C-alpha cells in the first residue's frame, strides 16, 4: 500500500554545518538515552530507596506524560499553520519536511542539538516537582521518548506485517497519506481516543 524510499530527501540549509546536523542516525536516541534511562532506574533503587512497585508506578506515569506531550506537540505545534514567512520556514524545518519527505531515513528522529537541551529542561522540571520520585518518572519519560522515535522510524521503514506493529504502522501512515488532521499519536493512539481525534 505504501512505498518507502529511504533515499528520499531534500537539502534544508545553505550552511553545510547546519545541514550536517539536520541528519540523524535512527539509533541515536537509543544510544544516547538508553544509558540515562538505566541510570535513572539505578538511582530510583540505590539512592532513593524506592520499592519495585513504586518505581513501576512512576515509570508508567513517566510514559503517560511522554505520550501526552507527544500528542500535544504533534497536534498543536507540528500541525500549527503559521501565516508569516518565518513561521512557515520554521514549521517546515520542524515538521513540514517530514510530511513532504516522509521516507527521509535520516530525518525521522530529533537531532541531539535539540533533544538534549529539552531533556535538561524536563529533568529540572521533574526534579523540582517530584523530588525523590523524579528518577523513576524520568526513566519512564525517556523510555517513552525512545519508543516514540524507534516506532516512528519503524513505521516508515520496517515491514511490521503482524499484530500491533502492523496496526501502528497503518495508523501512522494514514496520518501521512489520508488525513493529517487526525491520528496524532505515533507511539500510542491513547490520547487520540481521549480527545476524539481518531478517524471517523
pLDDT of residue 2: 41
pLDDT of residue 1: 38
Q: How far is CA 172 from CA 20, 39, 76, 115, 192, in A?
A: 27, 32, 17, 22, 12
Structural domain includes residue 81: yes
pLDDT in tens, 108-122: 778 888 889 999 999
Owning domain of residue 71:
16-148
Using pLDDT thresholds of 50, 70 and 90, give the confidence band for residue 20.
low
Q: What is the mean pLDDT of the chain?
A: 85
CA dist., res. 74 & res. 186, Å (int): 9
User: Which is more confidently placed, 87 or 53?
Assistant: 53
Structural domain includes residue 96: yes
Tell me the residue length of the chain. Answer: 200
pLDDT of residue 33: 97
Per-position DSSP letters for 90-159, written without gaps between them? HHIIIIIHHHHSTT-TTSSS--HHHHHHHHHHHHHHHHHHHGGGHHHHHHHHHHHHHHHHHHHHHHHHS-
Q: How far is CA 74 from CA 91, 127, 160, 181, in A?
A: 12, 25, 23, 10
Three-state DSSP state, 40: helix
pLDDT in tens, 64-119: 999 999 999 988 988 778 788 887 667 666 666 666 677 777 767 788 888 899 99
Structural domain includes residue 8: no
Structural domain includes residue 177: no
Using pLDDT thresholds of 50, 70 and 90, give the confidence band for residue 189.
very high
pLDDT for 137 beyond 90:
yes
Residue 141 near residue 63, CB atoms below 8 Å: yes
User: Considering its fold, how many domains does the chain have in total?
Assistant: 1
Structural domain includes residue 53: yes
Structural domain includes residue 115: yes
Using pLDDT thresholds of 50, 70 and 90, give the confidence band for residue 21.
low
User: Which is more confidently placed, 95 or 181?
Assistant: 181
Three cell numbers at 150?
524507534
Structural domain includes residue 111: yes
- Say which residue the cell 516508515 belongs to: 156
pLDDT for 199 beyond 80:
no
CA dist., res. 153 & res. 167, Å (int): 15
Structural domain includes residue 137: yes
Amino acid at each position: 500500500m505504501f512505498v518507502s524510499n529511504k533515499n528520499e530527501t531534500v537539502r534544508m540549509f545553505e550552511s553545510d554545518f547546519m545541514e550536517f546536523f539536520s541528519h540523524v542516525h535512527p539509533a541515536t536516541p537509543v544510544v544516547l538515552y538508553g544509558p540515562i534511562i538505566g541510570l535513572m532506574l539505578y538511582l530510583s533503587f540505590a539512592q532513593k530507596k524506592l520499592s519495585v512497585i513504586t518505581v513501576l508506578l512512576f515509570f508508567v506515569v513517566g510514559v503517560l506524560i511522554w505520550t501526552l506531550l507527544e500528542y500535544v506537540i504533534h497536534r498543536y505545534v507540528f500541525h500549527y499553520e503559521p501565516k508569516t514567512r518565518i513561521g512557515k520556514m520554521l514549521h517546515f524545518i520542524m515538521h513540514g519536511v517530514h510530511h513532504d519527505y516522509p521516507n527521509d531515513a535520516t530525518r525521522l528522529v530529533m537531532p541531539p542539538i535539540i533533544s538534549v537541551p529539552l531533556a535538561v529542561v524536563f529533568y529540572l522540571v521533574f526534579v523540582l516537582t517530584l523530588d525523590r520520585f523524579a528518577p523513576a518518572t524520568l526513566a519512564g519519560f525517556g523510555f517513552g521518548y525512545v519508543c516514540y522515535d524507534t516506532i516512528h522510524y519503524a513505521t516508515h521503514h520496517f515491514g511490521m506485517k503482524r499484530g500491533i506493529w502492523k496496526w501502528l504502522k497503518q495508523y501512522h501512515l494514514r496520518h501521512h497519506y489520508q488525513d493529517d488532521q487526525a491520528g496524532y499519536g505515533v507511539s500510542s493512539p491513547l490520547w487520540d481516543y481521549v480527545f476524539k481525534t481518531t478517524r471517523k
